[in-house]
Structure 1
Amino acid sequence: MAQQEKVTTNGGLDPAQHEAITKHMTHEEHEAAKAAARFGYGPLAHRRGNQGDVSAFGGEFQPGLFKSPEARKFANPAPLGLSAFALTTFVLSLINLGTRGVTGPNIVVATAYGYGGLVQLLAGMWEMAVGNTFGATALSSYGGFWISFGIILTPGGFEIVSSLEALGGTQFLDSFGFFLFGWFIFTTILLMATLRSTVAFFLLFFTLDLAFLMLAIGYLVRVDGKPNPMLIQAGGAFGILAAFLAWYNALAGILDDSNSFFVIPVAHFPWSVKGQQQRGAKGDQYTV
């Protein structure tokens, strides 16, 4: 019974494996690793017995190894930011698809300011507080995207659309296409940082990247002087996928032993550090 308790405390590893992994850790790193194992997320989160659950690594919005926010007495802000992004993207993508004949994006202005913008920006700042550079950069930037998107579409408030349209031609459509293309480039940069993380995390940025690309081209390559409807709908479809993947990753960060009977899988890439550790390939080189 004592041996079984020791294995459980070590995050599901036998004593020899645990010693090999932790022998070079500082005291602070030991505490962070134990917290990660205890709360079901992080590099030492584990598959427990026959419950069939796996670590909620994707819910941390961190593609690399990290120190647990719990060790800093700070909640995990990633699910909040992911949820804010997901809902706003979901609503806009439905409009881009022309669902139930809705084509005007005005309703998105409210969510772009209040949830996808402000709340996601706050989550990004909290990611900065817990030392997660990727999460802070991504969530704060997409929060800024939604705020700027809301500014562009605010009817009459900033007169951006009307001012560009008053110049004649395709000034607004081209400008908006440039705006979206810039976000495609930024998302591609973030995508590169997810190649050694999890399938769920990678697919979130991959589908979002395609959504930005389709929408940008749709505004720049027009049909009869209007945004290309097929490309706009394609962007909406990829946006729907990105929204549900964001919710999935958010759920992965919310569920733990205290509130759920299971933890959803996020599927580590076999070439990722965590994937190699699971196969025992780099257990003796582990660092937190």
Structure 2
Amino acid sequence: MSDVKLGNPAVVGLGGFGLSTILLQLHNLGLCGLGPVLAVGFAFGGIAQLCAGLLEHKNGNNFGFAAFSAYGSFWISIGIIWVLNYFGMYKSSTTDVGYFLIGYTFFTLILWFASLFIHSAMATTFSILMVGFILLDLGHFGFPAMNIAAAYVLIACALAAWYMMGAIIINDVAGRAIVPVGKAWLKK
């Protein structure tokens, strides 16, 4: 039983995070409708990423457990906000969403600090994500142009997450490190 190799749930979590984030930012730039964002956000960004988080828990990876579960829940929550707004059941204002984003900014700050101890690719991804959340916070509290800046920053973040996903997959199938992830920015 211990000889069975299990897949790394991070590939699904990073994949879902990346695709959902790219689609939302394309929407924010006016290039994509909300329908695909909502569908992928619920399915791949939300449910699949949440499942990846639960599997990281089983693997004993607190960082992956926290990150994938929280950001999977983010996608499900933001999808619910959009649906409630669409049907007029509960209208969330720009600042309502802003407070939601501020909560995730503080959560991301904790994960950003922890990412500095993992590897360069993780620290880079979380550094970019931190900047993206701060820009979104500003965009929802009186500086709407920051949402456009955030879109470009968060596309870079999604691509960084996909880089890590690619590194995990390619290095695994190659049986050696071909795609580098770099050293931790801080020593344990």
Same fold (TM over 0.5): yes
Given the two structures, how large is their TM-score scaled by the length of structure 2?
0.89
Distance in 2, Cα, partners of 1:213 & 1:267: 26
CA gap of 1:257–1:113, structure 2 versus 1, over 3 A, is closer
The structure having more radius of gyration, on CA atoms, is: 1
Query: What displacement does 1:270 show?
Result: 6.3
Alignment of 1:85-100 (within 5 A): 85-99=17-31
Partner of 1:40: none
Letter in 1 for 2:135: M
Partner of 2:50: 121
Are 2:114 and 1:193 aligned?
Answer: yes
Partner of 1:63: none
Query: What displacement does 1:269 show?
Result: 3.5
Are 2:151 and 1:219 aligned?
Answer: no
Are 2:182 and 1:267 aligned?
Answer: yes
Query: How many residue pairs end up in the alignment?
Result: 186
What SS does structure 1 have at the residue aligned with 2:117? coil
Are 2:128 and 1:207 aligned?
Answer: yes
Partner of 1:44: none
Contact kept in structure 1, 2:119 and 2:185, CA below 8 Å: no
CA gap of 1:149–1:270, structure 2 versus 1, over 3 A, is closer
Are 2:160 and 1:160 aligned?
Answer: no
Deviations 1:191-228 (A, max 9, x none): 01012222211011111111111111111114xxxxx1
Are 2:105 and 1:173 aligned?
Answer: no
Letter in 1 for 2:136: L
Unaligned stretches of 5+ residues in structure 1: 1-69, 165-171, 223-227, 274-288
What SS does structure 1 have at the residue aligned with 2:34? coil
CA gap of 1:181–1:72, structure 2 versus 1, over 3 A, is farther
Q: 2:154 pairs with 225, 235, 239, which one?
A: 239
Are 2:174 and 1:253 aligned?
Answer: no
- Root-mean-square deviation (CA, aligned residues, Å) is 2.2
Partner of 2:37: 108
Distance in 1, Cα, partners of 2:42 & 2:88: 14
Are 2:105 and 1:184 aligned?
Answer: yes
Q: 1:144 pairs with 68, 73, 83, which one?
A: 73
Q: 2:15 pairs with 83, 88, 97, which one?
A: 83
CA gap of 1:193–1:76, structure 2 versus 1, over 3 A, is same
Alignment of 1:11-22 (within 5 A): none
Distance in 2, Cα, partners of 1:141 & 1:212: 14
What SS does structure 1 have at the residue aligned with 2:76? helix
CA gap of 1:106–1:249, structure 2 versus 1, over 3 A, is same
Letter in 2 for 1:248: Y
- In percent, how many aligned pairs have the same letter? 35
* Structure with a larger share of its residues in helix: 2
Unaligned stretches of 5+ residues in structure 2: none
Distance in 1, Cα, partners of 2:38 & 2:169: 27
Contact kept in structure 2, 1:74 and 1:130, CA below 8 Å: no
CA gap of 1:193–1:157, structure 2 versus 1, over 3 A, is same
